[in-house]
Amino acid sequence: MDIGELRSYCLLKPGVTENFSFEDRTVKFKVGGKVFLSAKLSSGGQFVLKCDPDRAGELDRDRGKTIPGFRMNKRNCMTVSMENIFGIEPFLEHIDHSYCVVFNSLSKKSQKLIKDPFVRRLANLMAEA
């Protein structure tokens, strides 16, 4: 999965926005203003994702394919390398889990606004302007 495919997949999720930081070298995908995935554009397939601490521990033990999140909270974030994952499905599963962790941490009001298709369309129009 390259950065373009990653971008397309993330932006399909309700309420997701993207922005760049660190002199446009890192893309961050957010839901409700909170980051759920961060990717350094020159990282060669390494992505930092939010995660449930118990799940991160399981993934580390079971697969050995994750490391604590680089420059992030080491307990609630993990770095996943595409080189270590066989097939696209496990990686998409990581992305989906990260999105859900952040989405579920939002207030019920924010969740409802994100789920509302009219609000999503309006947000997209405002972002294009």
pLDDT band of residue 119 (cuts 50, 70, 90) is low
The secondary structure of 6-27 as a DSSP string is HHHHHHTSTTEEEEEETTTTEE
CB-count exposure of residue 95 (10 Å: 0-12, 13-18, 19+): buried
- Dump pLDDT digits (tens) for 5-56: 888 999 999 999 999 876 677 889 999 999 999 887 775 667 778 877 676 5
The pair of three-digit structure tokens given for residue 85, joined into one six-digit string:
């994952």
Q: Which domains does the chain have, with CATH numbers?
A: 3-128 (3.90.1150.30)
Cα–Cα dist 59/128, whole Å: 38
> What is the pTM for the complete model shown?
0.75
- Dump pLDDT digits (tens) for 46-61: 777 887 767 655 555 4
